[in-house]
């Protein structure tokens, strides 16, 4: 399992999702906030106009962002780390064995990532939620929201297993992917979900015995796509088998064998 070690310049700030922090040097301060980086910046500028109206807009913006993260199943708070009086160091990691990737945003294209992929980012990067529509999200099995990153700076994401970078434009403009293998993709890539075959014998064989369910994700356009080699469902199934969960049958495991 990989980790990211971030070196901060004096006064530089990074933020992470709660639960992704590992360690820091003593001169790095830590603050937990409900507001994202865009709301925090606005508050530092006088609450988008100052006065009671600015404070009200600030509170409403924070509440909306927290509500979106709650619906997405994300952490409700962010942790901010700022180096004080010199250079500092902070360490972060994901929650599953796998790979990490630093994405460099130049302000021209946003990045979209699966739920829970976000690890940490510079304070100049804004975190948001992108709604995919209930039907597409439910069909894809990954929920109907994606994490969205805009602005300029570095974003660190994590996934399961190994990563591979693809561009659909190199494969005729379209690739079809197991819905659990998508980690992130650039703005300009069109995400969708399609059914595998029809409701016929072969379609049911694909769904029941092929291990792919009834749907595949489709990614179309010209841009970077990051896929992971391991899905959370696949990891859960492997752990269940290792614990003997696949040996329970009609007899309730009466004739199963166990080591030791």
CA distance 163 to 177: 14
Contact partners, residue 172, CB within 8 Å, separation at least 6: none
- Compare 61 and 11 and report the one with higher pLDDT: 11
Residue 155: both structure tokens together:
């974003």
CA distance 202 to 87: 60
Q: What is the mean pLDDT of residues 157-161?
A: 93
Please report where in the chains the tokens 């969708």 appear, as a residue. 192
State residue 116's pLDDT score: 83
H/E segment holding residue 208:
helix 201-209
Please report where in the chains the tokens 């990737």 appear, as a residue. 101
The runs of H, that is alpha helices, within 5-50 are 37-44
Contact partners, residue 9, CB within 8 Å, separation at least 6: 83, 87
State residue 165's pLDDT score: 97
pLDDT category at 100 given cuts 50, 70, 90 is very high
Task: Give 120-155 pLDDT, tens digit per residue.
Answer: 999 999 998 887 655 554 544 545 578 999 999 999
Instruction: Identify the burial level of 143 via C-beta atoms within 10 angstroms of its C-beta, where 0-12 means exposed, 13-18 middle and 19 or more buried.
Output: middle
Out of 28-32, 92-96, 181-185, 196-200, least confident range: 196-200
> What pTM, to 2 d.p., does this model score?
0.74
CA separation, residue 239 to residues 122, 234, 248 (Å): 35, 9, 14
Q: What is the mean pLDDT of residues 160-187?
A: 94
Average pLDDT, the chain: 79
CA distance 206 to 198: 10
Q: What is the mean pLDDT of residues 41-48?
A: 44
pLDDT over 70 percentage in the chain: 66
pLDDT category at 260 given cuts 50, 70, 90 is very low
Out of 60-64, 136-140, 189-193, least confident range: 136-140
Q: Could you give phi then psi for residue 206, rounded to 5 degrees? A: -60, -45
Residues 114, 142 contacting (CB under 8 angstroms) = yes
């Amino acid at each position: 399992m990989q980790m990211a070690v971030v070196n901060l310049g004096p006064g530089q700030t990074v933020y992470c999702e709660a639960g992704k922090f590992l360690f820091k040097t003593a001169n790095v301060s830590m603050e937990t906030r409900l507001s994202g980086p865009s709301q925090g910046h606005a508050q530092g500028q006088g609450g988008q106009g100052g006065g009671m109206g600015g404070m009200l807009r600030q509170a409403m913006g924070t509440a909306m962002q927290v509500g979106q993260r709650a619906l997405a199943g994300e952490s409700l708070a962010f942790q901010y780390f700022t180096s004080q009086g010199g250079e500092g160091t902070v360490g972060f990691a994901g929650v599953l064995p796998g790979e990490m990737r630093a994405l460099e945003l130049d302000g021209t294209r946003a990045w979209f990532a699966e739920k829970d992929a976000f690890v940490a980012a510079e304070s100049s990067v804004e975190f948001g939620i992108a709604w995919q529509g209930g039907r597409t999200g439910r069909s894809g099995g990954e929920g109907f929201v994606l994490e969205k990153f805009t602005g300029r700076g570095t974003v660190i994401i994590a996934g399961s297993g190994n990563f591979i970078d693809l561009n659909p434009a190199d494969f005729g403009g379209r690739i079809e992917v197991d819905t659990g293998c998508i980690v992130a993709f650039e703005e300009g890539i069109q995400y969708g979900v399609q059914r595998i075959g029809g409701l016929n014998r072969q379609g049911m064989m694909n769904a029941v015995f092929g291990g792919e369910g009834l749907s595949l994700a489709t990614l179309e356009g010209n841009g970077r796509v990051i896929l992971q080699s391991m899905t959370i469902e696949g990891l859960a199934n492997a752990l269940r088998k290792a614990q003997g969960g696949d040996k329970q049958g009609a007899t309730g495991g009466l004739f199963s064998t166990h080591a030791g």
